[in-house]
Every structure is written in C-alpha cells, then in structure tokens.
Structure 1
Amino acid sequence: MPAFVLLIAALALAFLLSRLLRLLAQFRRIQRIPVSTVALLPGSGQAAVTGNASGAQLSSPFAAIPCVFWSIEVQEYRSNGRSGSWRTVLARTSDAPLVLDDGTGRVQIEPAGAALFLQDRFAAQQGMFGGLNQSTLDALERLGVRTRTWLSTSRRLRIRERQIRHGERVFALGEIARAGAQAALASTPDAPLLLSNRDAPALARDLTMRMLGLLALPLLLLLAALLIGVFG
C-alpha cells in the first residue's frame, strides 16, 4: 500500500479517535453530574440544570426569528479534482448571556465557548439543487460572506441556523461561577459548557448514537479493504 495512503488513513483514524474521545468525555459528564435545582446549586464545581430560557431579545440572522440565543454556520463546497468537501467559511453565535428559571431560582448561562447540541431551525443551500432567497443572500453579504465567485457564478453554499427561543426548555451543564449576586454556569478551558434544548437523558442517547456511528466507520472501511484484498 502506498505510503501516502497509509498517511491519510492514519490522519483519518486520529481525527475519528479525537472526536470519539471528546464525545465520550461529554457523555461521562452528563452521566456523572445529576441535574440540580437552582436553589440547591453548590458554591463551586460542575453543575447541571434544566429550566425555561429568557434573556436579551434577539433576532436570528437568517430566519429573523425572535430568540434569546442563536448559532449559525455557513459552509462552502470546494472541489479538488474529482472529489471535494464542505469547508466552514463562517461560524458565529450570539454572545448575550441567557437566564434559566426552573421555578426554584434563576441561573445565568454564559454561552462563550459552549458545546452546542441544538436542533437546526433553519437550513438552506445554494448550488446544484437549490437556491437562496434574496433575504438570505442579503444576510450573507451583511455577514461578510460573498455569494458569487469572481466569475460571477453562484458559490455552492449551505447554511444552518439554530436558536433558543424565549420560554424554551433548556439543559445546561457547566462550571459554577458568579455574575454579581446571581449564580452562573460557564465553560472552562478543559470542560466547555454543554447547552441543549433536549433534556439530559435525550442528550446522552444522542451522544451514544454519535459514538456508535464513529466506531462503525473504521470497521466498515476495514471490511471494505478486506473484501478488496480477497476479491480484488
């Protein structure tokens, strides 16, 4: 087998292993830290809460939906000879803090550096089999993303937008901090805040499925290599 093929395979396996370990660490945090009421939050350490979200009234960049938090990602398809891949050209989130109220108290959520597990609320694509409406094109331009190439052809783009809306039920797990007199949950360098609009059991199931998917991929590649070796 050529050396460059082995190198690519090794890099791919290293990426999969890194991703798998990250998901495993997040899964273990959810399993290890039970959901607490805000009134019973400890003074320090990691904590998990579930409550209804509130905060600054924002408008999401693409769908223009009222919300208290948003996250967007824009990717461009870049071809390389016979193949290609999607590359992220813009990833941005709102930075205003949220507040979760579980009926026993309120805790502030600092979204900077958070690992997000939110459902897509808006998705669109330009090129091949789809186009973007004018309001989406205008939003891209305002965000600094060019929608056409230097040859004036449309760039092949896809967009994802996720939001947390006022009153939505939200799960958060992070490091206890203080925002004035109010308790807050935030990220640390070693453990990002986990933020989801699913409860803890549903998020744990989602992480499990993601890990199983990552484990299945190298096994399928190995099986394909064995079949090629036998029948090739």
Structure 2
Amino acid sequence: MLLFALYLSSSGQELLWPAVGACVGVYLFFHGFQMLQRKRLILNTPSSKIRSAAMGLVEINGLATGPYTMPAPITTVPCYYYRTMAWRWERRGKSSEWVKVADESLHVPFYLDDNTGRVLVDPRDAEMDIHRDFHEEYSHSLFSTHIEVPATVSGFLARHAISTDNKIKIEEYCIKPKNALFVLGTLAENPGLRVSATPVPTASHGMHSISFKMQGALSAEAAAAMESALPGIIVARNVTFAGFEGGATPREIIRLSSETPANSVDMTAQGKIAAAMTKAGINNPDAWKAAGLEYPGDQSANVSAATSPAEFDLNPKTVLMKGAHDPAFFISWHSQKDVVRALAWKSALMIWGGPLVTLVCVYILALQLDWL
C-alpha cells in the first residue's frame, strides 16, 4: 500500500485519485443495494400466465411474436425492436475516450405468447437486457483489421452525419421473432395504443433541434403549406433554431434561413439536417422538399408482415408496460432464474466491495496527508 501511495505521489495525483476511488466505492455500495432491491422485487412478484394475469405488477415469460417486423439498420435481420449505437474515439484533453455520437431505437408493436394467451408489450422506457447482435470497431489507421466499412454501417453513420475520420464502434441489440423473453412490468388498461406497421421511437427525447440553411427564400405560401401539411409544426422564416420542451405534447418548430451556403463546408451540414429531421420523426415529403432535401422514404415501407395481422387483436384491452405507480419495467432475454442469480452476485460484490474500495482509498489519503 505504501508503494502505491509513493507511486501516486510521484505522478502528482496523490490526492485526486484516492478521493475519486473513495467516491466510487460509496457509489458501488448504494448501487449494490439497488440491485438487491431489484432481486427481491423479482422474487416477491409471482410469475403469471397471460390468460390469468391480474392487473398490476406482473412477471411473464413468453416468446416474442407479432404481425409486423422491420429490418435492423446494421444486421438487417427482421426484428420487433432494435437499438443501434455508435461511439467515436475522441481526444479529450490529455486522454482519449469513447464518445457516444448516435443512439437510435425503434420498435413495432409486438406480443408475448406463453401458449395460454398473448399480451401486447409497449417497450418504451424499459430497462433492456437483450442479446447483442452486432459489435464491431472500424478505423482507417494503418494497423486496423477493419478498414472496409459495410454498406449498412456507412448508411447508418451517414444518416446521423457521423464522420469516419476517427475510430468508430458500433453496437446493435434486437428483439427478434421467437425470442424467449422475461418481462417484469405493469399490466394495465390500454391507454390508446393500436397495433400498426409504423415503427415507433422507443426512447423519448426531451428536445429536438433542427437548424439549417436553404437556398432561396421561403415564401409565406410555402411556410403555410408546410404548417397545414404537418399538424403541430410551426414554421418560422429566416431564423436558425428549432426545438420543443420535453414533458409536454411535442410541437416541432422548423425555422428556415434563406441564406445560400457560402462554401462546401456548409453544404455538408445537409447530412446533419437530415439526421435531425429523422430524429424528430418528420416524415412528410413536403417538409423535406422545403428543406432542400430528398425524402428518404417512409420507414413503414420497410416493415413486413411476419404473421397475418388477422391472427392478432390489433386493439387489445390490456398492455404490458411501464406503470405510473409501479415504475419497475425490465425486459431480459435471460430466464427469471438467471436474472436473479446475476443480480445476487453483482449486488453482493458491490455491497462488500464498495466499502473495501472506500477504506483502501481513505487509507491512501491518510498516508498522503501524514495522518498515519
């Protein structure tokens, strides 16, 4: 321990890192109790069959099924849900780290089937523990083994206006047909969800910002046409800012500038415009045309019928979702027994290891401050 303290002293970080370590130990301790609470909640919630499940917090095991699937952006596998993320290796000060630059998540309505019945699942705001279908790094460095970037990856990066000058890491998670799932959530009355082929954003965003330049002035008639074609959209001319506050009913504001791009650098911002409009869910071709962009097409056009929709109740009375009074909502590709086992050893490791880390770091601090 003394040698470690001397090493810290020689590196000029004799107080910073032990203090950080002590805080990390405290965090691990409390996070361990949170995981223990989750474990007890799962153990205390009886598993239910869909046919006999009562309203409220339930545990259900079943196979994912549904009338529609969509292709995942990277793997293109038919799925009900996907989350695709991209990180870029960036230099921050004296060190480098992975910085998340894209996080895209969509789903089409799907059900759980346990042979006694089917229940519609609304995966929004769920804590996901599902299979990772894709994980890869790409770099243009001399020693990289992944220089060639697949077309699906290039398309995803271009849609989010991400440069490939630096090293890129891509991950994709999917829920596919016939995946066995364990769900802890609230069985509640349907708040108005209806099954359709249109993909729905799974992650909620508190603010959408769209800022861009376009060639030529936007006439009052064009702005009025866009507003009439896009309910809830406000179009303002000659201003370059847009957004809406989270928590309220989204009202998207598109503000257009009539300034002509001065150079090719400004022209490359078109990719960012398209990414922002895609993220905001603007799928009216008139809005894309007014922004000087080519409409990429409706995402629902890529949705295919996995099973005949006539076999499903497209307007079910109940939905398995995140509850207002029972906020626990967990979807896992592991069985209930495996989830409990993982929570048990992780919580024990954090509850016992956290204080140990804190004590060691406090001891190092005491050595550095000559308290011992």
TM over 0.5: yes
Cα distance in structure 1, aligned partners of 2:65 and 2:34: 29
Q: Partner of 1:139 in structure 2? A: 156
How far apart are 1:26 and its partner, in Å?
A: 2.6
Residue range with higher mean Cα deviation, 18-27 or 58-67:
18-27
**Pair 1:145–1:204, CA change in 2 (3 A):** farther
Instruction: Confirm whether residue 93 of structure 1 aligns to residue 110 of structure 2.
Output: no
- 3-state DSSP of counterpart to 1:78: strand
Letter in 2 for 1:147: S
- Residue 116 of structure 1 corresponds to which residue in structure 2? 128
From 34, 51, 64, give the equivalent of 1:53: 64
Q: Compare 213-222 and 30-39 and name the one that shifted more.
A: 213-222
Select the residue among 179, 183, 204 that pairs with 2:340: 204
Alignment of 1:127-166 (within 5 A): 127=139, 129-131=144-146, 133-135=149-151, 136-142=153-159, 144-148=160-164, 154-166=165-177
In 2, the alpha carbon distance for the partners of 1:182 and 1:84 equals: 51
Aligned-partner residue type, residue 334 of structure 2 = R
Q: Is the 8 A contact 1:76 1:155 kept in 2?
A: yes
Structure with greater contact order relative to length (CA < 8 Å, sep ≥ 6): 2
The structure with the larger Rg is 2
SS of equivalent residue, structure 1 residue 167: coil
Change (3 A) 1:85 1:188: farther
Output the CA distance in 2 between the equivalents of 1:35 and 1:214.
27
Q: 1:65 aligns with which of 64, 69, 77?
A: 77
Residue type at the aligned position of 1:106: R
Structure 1 residues 202 and 178 mapped into 2: Cα distance closer, same or farther (>3 Å)?
same
Letter in 1 for 2:356: L
For the 8 Å contact 1:137–1:147, the answer to whether it is kept is no
Distance (whole Å) between structure 2 residues aligned to residue 177 and residue 62 of structure 1: 34
User: Aligned residue pairs: how many?
Assistant: 225
Cα deviation for residue 6 of structure 1 reads 6.6
* Secondary structure of residue in 2 paired with 1:75: strand
CA deviations 1:110-144 (Å, max 9, x no partner) are: 100000011211101123755362321222212x1
Aligned to 1:175: 186
Asked whether the equivalents of residues 185 and 321 of structure 2 are also in contact (C-alpha less than 8 Å), the reply is: yes
Change in 2 beyond 3 A, CA 1:229/1:212 = same
Unaligned ranges ≥5, structure 2 = 1-12, 191-314, 368-372
Percent identity, please: 21
Which residue identity does 1:167 align to in structure 2?
Answer: K
2:319 alignment partner, SS class: strand
TM-score normalised by length of structure 2? 0.53
Question: Do the aligned partners of residues 19 and 158 (structure 1) sit closer, same or farther apart at CA in structure 2, a change above 3 Å counting?
Answer: farther
**Residues 75, 158 of structure 1: 8 Å contact kept:** yes
RMSD of the TM alignment (CA)?
3.2
2:356 maps to 1:219: yes
Give the secondary-structure state (helix, strand or coil) at the position aligned to 2:166. coil
Q: Is the 8 A contact 1:186 1:192 kept in 2?
A: no
* Cα distance change of structure 1 residues 97 and 147 upon mapping to structure 2, 3 Å threshold: same
TM norm structure 1: 0.80
For residue 323 of structure 2, give the secondary structure of its aligned residue in structure 1. coil
Q: Structure 1 residue 223: deviation in Å? A: 4.0
In terms of fraction of residues, the more strand-rich structure is 1
CA drift at 1:207 = 2.4
For 1:133, give the aligned amino acid. V
* SS of equivalent residue, structure 2 residue 338: helix
Structure 2 SS opposite 1:57: strand
User: Contact 1:69/1:165 (CA < 8 Å) preserved in 2?
Assistant: yes
1:107 aligns with 2:119: yes
SS at match of 1:89: strand
Counterpart Cα distance in 2 of 1:12 and 1:41: 41
Q: Structure 1 regions of 5+ residues with no counterpart?
A: 149-153
